[in-house]
Structure 1
Amino acid sequence: YLQCVSDLANYPLYIRSIPTENQLKFHYTVHTSLDVVDEKIAAMGKALVDQRELYLGLLYPTEDYKVYGYVTNSKVKFVMVVDSSNTALRDNEIRSMFRKLHNSYTDVMCNPFYNPGDTIQSRPLCV
């Protein structure tokens, strides 16, 4: 599950859940994790201003999931929820996924036909 959130009012810009069942549960998990993101950003203080990007790492684990966070220099927050039984997923792989997502987000924002604040739509995945 992935969600991209604006810092202005914590409203979602992009939400993607694979598989699609239990979307409401994931949506709730992501919104509760935004408080942890805000706490980590506040704890970083001035160090956040000096960094180009901020990978927050594991925000918190639950029995079934692990929640990871990432904040861009423009205060856009990315939250990713992965299955906790996936032990093959390493921290550097999560960081790499966030960087790729950040690059994709930047591409959308640079599109002259995109209106900032509109929901981001992606092409359907071919399975």
Structure 2
Amino acid sequence: MVHTSLDVVDEKISAMGKALVDQRELYLGLLYPTEDYKVYGYVTNSKVKFVMVVDSSNTALRDNEIRSMFRKLHSSYTDVMCNPFYNPGDRIQSRAFDSMVASLMPQVC
């Protein structure tokens, strides 16, 4: 399901072309709905892709809340990448990042 969603991300990015670079909005919206799950996507300026899988029965989550969660995730990810002691490509081992992601989980589950 996530692999299929990544294909949709690539299609949306190529369809937007250079307009994606000019836009500040990096949220791609709903990528792949199924009976059980909804998959949402977000892409950063540096083409890092975030994918969020949400239970379809969770009707409390609105599009703007998903967008806000992606922005928080992007901000925290940027903080990790800006750490001078982090080696790009290594596994992220940050308590602050882990706690931020854990704080998002109750909203998604």
Matched residue count: 98
| Alignment deviations for residues 46-67 of structure 1 (CA, whole Å, 9 cap, x no partner) | 2111023410000010110000
CA distance in 2, matches of 1:67, 1:87: 14
Cα 1:85–1:126 change in 2 (3 A) is closer
Which structure dedicates a bigger proportion of its chain to strand? Answer: 1
CA distance in 2, matches of 1:126, 1:97: 9
What SS does structure 1 have at the residue aligned with 2:53? strand
| Alignment deviations for residues 14-43 of structure 1 (CA, whole Å, 9 cap, x no partner) | xxxxxxxxxxxxxxxx22211010000011
- Indicate conservation of the 8 Å contact 2:80/2:94, yes or no: no
Runs of 4+ in 1 over 2 A off after TM superposition: 121-127
Gaps of 5+ in 1: 1-29
Q: CA deviation at 1:80?
A: 0.2
Q: CA deviation at 1:125?
A: 14
Of 65, 80, 100, which aligns to 1:93? Answer: 65
Higher relative contact order (CA 8 A, sep 6+): 1
> Bigger CA drift: 107-116 or 117-126?
117-126
- Asked if 1:61 is matched to 2:33, the reply is yes
Cα 1:39–1:114 change in 2 (3 A) is same
Cα 1:34–1:112 change in 2 (3 A) is same
CA distance in 2, matches of 1:113, 1:125: 31
CA distance in 2, matches of 1:91, 1:111: 31
Which structure dedicates a bigger proportion of its chain to helix? Answer: 2
CA distance in 2, matches of 1:34, 1:50: 22
Cα 1:40–1:122 change in 2 (3 A) is same
Cα 1:39–1:108 change in 2 (3 A) is same
TM-score calculated relative to the size of structure 1: 0.71
Cα 1:45–1:86 change in 2 (3 A) is same
